Amino acid sequence: MSRVGFLRLLVVGGFVLAIELLCRTGAVSPRVLIAPSDMAVRLVRLLASGKATADIVETLGNVAIALVLSVSGGFAIGAAIHAVPRLRRAIDPFLASYYALPFFAFYPLFIVLFGLGRGAIVAIGFLFGVVAMIIATLNGFDRIPRVLVRTAAVYHMGPFAAALRIKLPSAIPYLFTGIKLAIAYCFIGVIAAEFIMASSGLGYSISYAFNNFDNGTMYALMLFVIVLVTIVNALFYSYERRLLRRWGR
Amino acid sequence: MKRAFDTALLVIAGLVAWELMHLAAPFALTSPADTAVKAWSMLTSTAFWPHAAETGKAFLYALLLAIGGGLAIGLGLGLNRTSAEVAEPILISVYSLPKVTLYPLILLIFGLGVPAKIAFGTLHGVIPIAIFAMNAVRNLAPVHFKTARVLRLSRSQTLLTVVIPGALPEIVSGLRIGFSLTLLGVLIGEMFASQRGLGFLIMNAIGLHDVPTIMATIVLLGIVAVSASAFMLWLDHRLHHRAA
């Protein structure tokens, strides 16, 4: 392992160990935080009991649907906006301040549109993820070498063929940034929506456990979410690096 | 001028789309005109301002803490190559965590009330500011540092006269994202567990199915957020331009 990787492991390990010590020595009350080792044990037990399986499957399904929709939708919308420079200039400040809006408040609207159930949750995840992807697509398209755009013109490619066969591959590094952000935002949107207003799913289970003073279950599920998101990010990160290296960038 | 005209066109198109959606589902969505009337009556009522002040206060403290903490972390880690390399993946994975899951922990530490909201908002805002500041310092041209050494500047002089001005454009980009996320954090905190503030107002209105209040609150928040963000975007462009 490289020196940097070792140091990184040391920092994370030291942090977990410090929390463990604080909890085990009683400096932090178990009513506030339980020891990380205890969280892991409870998580294994919870997973083995199968009580959380339905919620996990539901949340992951919601995130997956929201992610696919926001990545494909974000690319299509981004490409369309980029094709109309006037629209693009006008819409830029709105895109830039988009994440300051509290979309959760639109939940009642989504319930009317999509009915109770996963539709409304997926819609919030989508709204969170899609704009990161639109912004990344615009950034990527901005940096396409002009010679490639001219090549597309020389070959008489239509706008769709040019977008898919020239612009998409050329903008890939920026699109990856967008996908990474979309993964993070879809998780955040779905889990936050479940947390605040759903009646099933991982986010709901955490808030339910919190309201019932069930710290064991709550911290086990929190650990699950944190580990899951970290693993998904790490996998995607290493996939991206391998792909970019193969393409010699 | 043409640009302002295009923006105006876009706003009008948005309002028309909103009105059409209202006509399609009148119970789910208030019309733009009704929302404006409701927003005005909220602004002139006395019941609204304590909530706005509560949210504003929590947001202001959270933002100050996020900026101070984020700059300290980012500049501190960025000045040393090893620490920056060690910290970057950690910071990025913390950034992409759904921090709502950590809200119960914060409530258990701080209890219900303003401190928990401030802590939650800070938690959202501090990481992006730190990431941007760190990368800005890392990407400074080495010749700047060499010049500082040649001129025998002390550490604090280097920081104030070389590092911060050089990294300023990126820092402002980070502040813009940090601003949005801090506001989001404070509002989510209020929506989940609070008896005051705009987030509570929205949650309460959702419970009562009081659509006009929901819409009016979102629109007011949106106007504040978008104008603050537009101002920072303008600053951002200016600073990046100057640097180029």
CB contact under 8 A, B96 and A183: yes
Q: Indicate whether this complex's ipTM tops 0.85.
A: no
Number of structural domains found in chain A: 2
**Do A6 and A105 reside in the same domain of the chain?**
no
Number of structural domains found in chain B: 1
Assess if residue B14 is contained within a domain: no
Least CB–CB distance from A100: residue in B3, B180, B202: B180
Assess if residue B17 is contained within a domain: no
**Do A7 and A73 reside in the same domain of the chain?**
no
**Do A19 and A78 reside in the same domain of the chain?**
no
**Do A9 and A65 reside in the same domain of the chain?**
no
Is B13's Cβ below 8 Å from some Cβ in A? no
**Do A107 and A127 reside in the same domain of the chain?**
yes
CA distance A29 to chain B (A): 10
**Do A17 and A135 reside in the same domain of the chain?**
no
**Do A25 and A123 reside in the same domain of the chain?**
no
**Do A228 and A178 reside in the same domain of the chain?**
yes
DSSP readout, chain A? --HHHHHHHHHHHHHHHHHHHHHHTTSS-TTT---HHHHHHHHHHHHHHTSSHHHHHHHHHHHHHHHHHHHHHHHHHHHHHHH-HHHHHHHHHHHHTGGGS-GGGGHHHHHHHH-TTHHHHHHHHHHHHHHHHHHHHHHHHHTS-HHHHHHHHHTT--HHHHIIIIIHHHTHHHHHHHHHHHHHHHHHHHHHHHHHH-SSSHHHHHHHHHHTT-HHHHHHHHHHHHHHHHHHHHHHHHHHHHHHHHTT-
CA distance A32 to chain B (A): 5
Range of the domain at A25: 1-33
Assess if residue B4 is contained within a domain: no
Residues 162 through 201 of chain B touching chain A, CB cutoff 8 Å:
176-177, 179-181, 183-184, 187-188, 191-192, 199
What are the pLDDT tens digits along chain A (249 aa)? 678 888 888 888 898 898 888 888 888 887 788 888 888 898 899 888 888 888 889 999 999 999 999 999 999 999 899 888 888 888 887 887 787 776 766 776 777 777 777 888 899 899 989 998 998 888 888 888 888 888 888 888 887 788 778 877 888 878 888 888 898 889 888 888 888 777 888 888 888 888 888 888 888 888 898 888 888 888 888 888 887 787 765
**Do A240 and A153 reside in the same domain of the chain?**
yes
Assess if residue B68 is contained within a domain: yes
Assess if residue B12 is contained within a domain: no
Q: pTM here?
A: 0.83
Assess if residue B211 is contained within a domain: yes
Of the CA atoms within 13 Å of residue A241, those in its CB half-sphere come to 5
**Do A26 and A45 reside in the same domain of the chain?**
no
Least CB–CB distance from B3: residue in A12, A90, A226: A90
**Do A22 and A46 reside in the same domain of the chain?**
no
pLDDT winner (highest mean) among B25-29, B51-55, B64-68, B196-200: B64-68
**Do A81 and A204 reside in the same domain of the chain?**
yes
For residue B181, give the CATH number of its domain: 1.10.3720.10
For residue A178, give the CATH number of its domain: 1.10.3720.10
Q: Which residues of A touch B180 (CB under 8 A)?
A: 97, 99-100
Give residue B195's pLDDT: 81
CB contact under 8 A, A197 and B108: no
Range of the domain at B207: 51-243
Residues 34 through 93 of chain B touching chain A, CB cutoff 8 Å:
82, 85-87, 89-90, 92-93
CB contact under 8 A, B183 and A100: yes
Give residue A64's pLDDT: 94
Residues 214 through 243 of chain B touching chain A, CB cutoff 8 Å:
214, 217-218, 221-222, 225-226, 228-230, 233
Q: Which residues of A touch B107 (CB under 8 A)?
A: 210
Assess if residue B60 is contained within a domain: yes
